[in-house]
Structure 1
Amino acid sequence: MRTYIRKTNRGNNSKEQIETAVAFVLKTHQSLRNAAKIYGIDKCTLKRYLDKAKAANCSTFNHVGYAKSKQVFNDEQNEKLVAYLNFSSKMCFRLTPLDVQRFAFQCAKHYNLRIPPSWKERKMAGKYWFDSFLKRNPDLSLCSQDANSLGQCIDFNRGTVDMFFEKLALLRDKYGFEARDIWNLDETEVTTVQTDCQVIDDKAMKQAGGLKSNERETHVTVCLAVNAIGNCIPPMFIFPRKKYYDHFVKDGPPGCVGASNDFGCMTAKELFEFMKHFIQKVKPTMKRKVLLLLDNHESHFDAATLTLAKKNGVIMLSFPPHFSSALQPLDKSIIGPFNKYLQTAQRNWIVSNPGKKIAIHDIPKQVAEALPKALSPTNIVAGFRATGIEPFNNIILPDNAYLPAFETNVPPPAIPFDESYQVVKLEEYVETLPTEIEFVDAHNTEEDEIAFQCMEQSNTSMSHKAKVLIKRKRIKSSQLH
């Protein structure tokens, strides 16, 4: 039976309760009926333990109540299994129920444990065992996983994060940036089709229907910029239209601007316009420069935009690839609440305008209703604090955040080296050599002759194509391991 429901309360008395009742009878010579009534124990149960105490001449017991149900794994093995599942989950290699059942069978074989015959037949644990395993470990649960790209899992490592924070610390020390001078720029898409949400409906209904404004989505990009003390500038809207007209944003947030292109997304042209908007609102100067943090999208590195920013005192620093969700303040504390408030605003618009569809020109008005609620100073400051940008904290990310890159963090291989010069085979080591080492073609310089003499002394045979010289740098073993 998968779920057993107890029909009596037998065996629920604690060990201390039984021992106290037995000691009470032996000391006071009270009747079993009175003692059982006083301590809330069944009379027959108390008599059984009293007889055991008299036979052993001791009022303490090693075990009280029903014996524990037989389990395949003991407590220590169960803890190891749970620890492995948690570790795999943090590495983004989460196991399905069938994977857990197969793994449990392999563990049982490894420990030479007694297992049911059905496990041996199916080469996996049973479904009843899996259900009981989840009940015994309430910290584990079945959930739907979010897809993580392979590139994100590989690139998200401690070395890259440390490199970003080193650059951030260098810029802060060099230019003396205060919290008001540190800004973050990011874009988010707003669609004319509402996302599904939870609603109240009759239990008999298997599927709850709801109204949507459009069948096909049309996206409008909203570009935001906030600083570390909780301030923001008016947003910029990018519409999927050939030509832009000022009436597109007439109902938008005060001071907002707009642009348009074929796809309604950020390009180099639109970022140049936003940079002019940013400079106009923030008013940086060459004496009081500002730091602008943004992701490394290709549109953010246009030569015209970089030149404009440099001339007006805007220092731009990009986040590493695939790090926006962990290091970008807007992604951390603003975009999520903004999408929820926007969903509510669009649902209210549909109720207030029955029979009408949401057009792209209605989005600025809906954003004007939702954005101020999300762009509160508390949310903005919390985003900068949670990412370790302001106040500066380069160890803000926990160790388990880097576990997805655990298998790909391979140390550089050892390379044989000489005290002064080194001659190696190109085919074997060209892919593994440190980037700071220079290579010079063979038979071209006097240094080559020194390298060839070293090669002859070491009796190393190499093809002409494979001869390379690593010059003018003594390579310490600490750099290679």
Structure 2
Amino acid sequence: MPRDQKLRTTEEFKFAKSFLKDGMSLLKVSKQTGIPYATLHDHLRGRYVGRDPPSFFGPTNELTVSEEESLINYIEYMAVRGLPLSRQNLKRFVIEIVKKSGRKTLFNLENGPSDKWVTKFMKKHKNLSLKKSHPLEKCRAEISQNQIDQYYDLLESTLKRLDLMNDPTRIYNCDESGFSGRLNGTKKVIVPKHIRHPYQTQVNISGHITLLLAISAAGQTPPPLVIFSGALPRDDYSTGIPDSWLFEKTESGFVNSDLYMNWFNNAFLPSIGRKRPVLLILDNHVTHLSTYAIDAARDNGVDLLFFSSHSSHLLQPLDVVYFHALKQKVADMSVELGYFGIKTLPRKFFPKILMQSMNRLTGLTVSSSFSATGIYPFNKKAVHALEFNPSSCASQSRAVNDGDDPEERQACDSCGHSKDNILVKMGLVSADLANILVEPPKSKQIGNKKQSKRKTLNTARVYPSISPSNVTSHNTDETTVPSNDEAQPGSSGTNIIQKTITKQGTKRKSKECTTSTRKKKAKKSMKKSKAIIDDDNVLCIACMTNNQQFYWVGCDRCDNWVHYECLPARVQTDVDLSLITDEPWYCNVCVQSEE
């Protein structure tokens, strides 16, 4: 059994030597101070003279204290930036550091340190560990802490406005997840001892299946929507399944706006009770952003809160906890039934396995999805972006000057690295290693390739529902939607055109709204150039935002408006031709209605 090793400081040895000067024996000093007898004996013989610290494990350090501290800080910095170092990377940096120092070393300068040295290095620094990395898209890695803080600020104000800080029964999260035959069983298997790596084939599912599901912070699960690719299973697949479950089909097996609206109206709304308002948190999938979905939520007392783009892996309860646990249950149950290897899981059995897997997940698993993301109980410090926190370093880092903004520093044309190593200015890396431990290079624009004009919603936003005080009985002829002035102030995304909804389901513009007048003025100017609209009530039908930094294009038939930059290139060409020839231009909605 290994001995209990512990690093000793210089003060501890000075304290032990004071007992020796008083005539106490070495053995008694060892028992009195807790320092092993052999260690005290070695120090008295001068074995550790010149070492800093005076006592450490293993042979003499090949790296100085400053070099090792800089390397540890660099490992932490790269890890939180989404660029963690591997064993080979660590060995390469160590060799570069040793070569630059010019001192003698026991390392092989061609192959680098041994694996045994790396293991001892990791053991010495307890805050480091080897873990398997997971792929992360670059756009997700670039989510900033400011975007996350803005989301939590908006979430907090929305929960307080709706009086939901202590009511988890009216907080829901909705999302889609696919099942396409990539499920792996997680239970341990029995194999002969000589087999080093036991393998198990994946669970195969014919076609693609999409699950549209919502969960509440109280552990409730409304009926889901299961979408099959191609066609529904031929045999009976709904026996034993609750009648409230919905089953649909599409050619690809993916969800679309019509199916989402069918689930929202026929499964979600009937299962959330009558108490309003209800908060539904969801991502920026195109099916969630249609005007029909937003209007249906507003008319039924459901407030919609959208994450910022590319942040669902951090903020969405279903993605963070629930879907992982659910897919593991589905895979384990499929393996238990023998559907793995060459035996494909029949699609008719999938709903039954899915239902049993959902039943095996307790309400605690569902509610923990919200606590892990800081929604309920509310905790704005629950999630952190992939940004470096200098205070977490072993060394005391220095603040960076205002003029050292990473976006303003000049990058090298050949390698993309910054000419001024910001890590040195932050105090994370010593100046001697500035050319070795460099910050990650910036992404460069290749040639004359233009950047994508695809718009992303970089901030969270909320679409408030009808205020309960303004909702009258269902027998009345009209229900008036409150204007934007009555909505939450300061929240982006609430700029929806004020409408009046009649009993027959038709919609007409409110007489009090001045949007029509402003649109007519803008359309007159559009005949000569693209319009600039200063009306906060106008939303782009493509990105569903009111960004005033882009030019607007209005349909000559209906009242739809769209950002010129949000249109495809071929449609932009049609708009330019209409401006030149004075011919009318119609939006995609009007064109499809004619067909």
Aligned-pair identity in percent equals 20
* Aligned residue type for 1:384: F
Matches within 5 A, 1:222-237: 222-237=211-226
2:282 corresponds to 1:297: no
* Aligned residue type for 1:363: F
Q: Distance in 2 between matches of 1:321 and 1:48?
A: 61
Give the deviation of 1:387 after TM superposition.
1.4
Give the deviation of 1:384 after TM superposition.
1.6
Q: Distance in 2 between matches of 1:392 and 1:213?
A: 38
Change (3 A) 1:22 1:235: same
Q: Secondary structure at the match of 1:402?
A: coil
Unaligned runs of 5+ in 2: 4-11, 47-52, 390-399, 411-524, 526-595
Which residue does the alignment assign to 2:237? 248
Which residue does the alignment assign to 1:162? 149
Q: In 1, are the aligned partners of 2:171 and 2:216 still within 8 Å (CA)?
A: yes
Which residue does the alignment assign to 2:326? 338
The Cα offsets for residues 384-420 of structure 1, whole Å up to 9 and x where unpaired, read as 222122233333324x64349x99974799xxxxxxx
TM-score by length of 2: 0.53
Give the deviation of 1:241 after TM superposition.
2.9
Which residue does the alignment assign to 1:428? none
Matches within 5 A, 1:346-425: 346-350=334-338, 357-374=344-361, 376-398=362-384, 401-403=386-388, 410=407
Q: Distance in 2 between matches of 1:303 and 1:368?
A: 32
Matches within 5 A, 1:118-129: 122=110, 125=113, 129=117
Q: In 1, are the aligned partners of 2:98 and 2:105 still within 8 Å (CA)?
A: no
Q: In 1, are the aligned partners of 2:206 and 2:346 still within 8 Å (CA)?
A: no
Which residue does the alignment assign to 2:257? 268
Change (3 A) 1:22 1:403: closer
Q: Distance in 2 between matches of 1:45 and 1:187?
A: 62
The Cα offsets for residues 99-121 of structure 1, whole Å up to 9 and x where unpaired, read as 222222333355x36232865x5
Greater fraction helix: 1
Change (3 A) 1:335 1:104: same
Change (3 A) 1:127 1:190: closer
Which residue does the alignment assign to 2:141? 153
Change (3 A) 1:412 1:166: farther
Give the deviation of 1:295 after TM superposition.
1.1
Give the deviation of 1:271 after TM superposition.
0.5
* Aligned residue type for 2:146: G
Q: In 2, are the aligned partners of 1:249 and 1:257 still within 8 Å (CA)?
A: no
Change (3 A) 1:72 1:261: same
Which residue does the alignment assign to 1:279? 269
The Cα offsets for residues 292-343 of structure 1, whole Å up to 9 and x where unpaired, read as 1111111222232222222222222211122112111122231122122222
Structure with higher Rg: it is 1
Which residue does the alignment assign to 1:134? 122
Change (3 A) 1:126 1:213: closer
Give the deviation of 1:19 after TM superposition.
7.1
Give the deviation of 1:283 after TM superposition.
4.0
Which residue does the alignment assign to 2:304? 316
Q: Secondary structure at the match of 1:187?
A: strand
Q: In 2, are the aligned partners of 1:235 and 1:257 still within 8 Å (CA)?
A: yes
Q: Secondary structure at the match of 2:374?
A: coil
Q: Distance in 2 between matches of 1:47 and 1:373?
A: 62
Give the deviation of 1:48 after TM superposition.
11
Which residue does the alignment assign to 1:176? 163
Q: Distance in 2 between matches of 1:45 and 1:295?
A: 61
* Aligned residue type for 1:299: T
Which is further off, 336-345 or 194-203? Answer: 194-203
Q: In 2, are the aligned partners of 1:164 and 1:319 still within 8 Å (CA)?
A: yes
Give the deviation of 1:258 after TM superposition.
1.4
The Cα offsets for residues 413-434 of structure 1, whole Å up to 9 and x where unpaired, read as 9xxxxxxxxxxxxxxxxxxxxx
Q: Distance in 1 between matches of 2:238 and 2:200?
A: 29
Change (3 A) 1:412 1:371: farther
* Aligned residue type for 2:172: W
- For residue 258 of structure 1, the aligned residue among 222, 240, 247 is 247
Which residue does the alignment assign to 1:205? 195
Give the deviation of 1:346 after TM superposition.
0.9
The Cα offsets for residues 245-275 of structure 1, whole Å up to 9 and x where unpaired, read as 8943333356322111112222112101111
The Cα offsets for residues 156-189 of structure 1, whole Å up to 9 and x where unpaired, read as 1122112222332343344434432211111222
Q: Distance in 2 between matches of 1:381 and 1:280?
A: 21
Which residue does the alignment assign to 2:454? none
Q: In 2, are the aligned partners of 1:253 and 1:368 still within 8 Å (CA)?
A: no
* Aligned residue type for 1:378: L
Which residue does the alignment assign to 2:131? 143
* Aligned residue type for 1:103: F
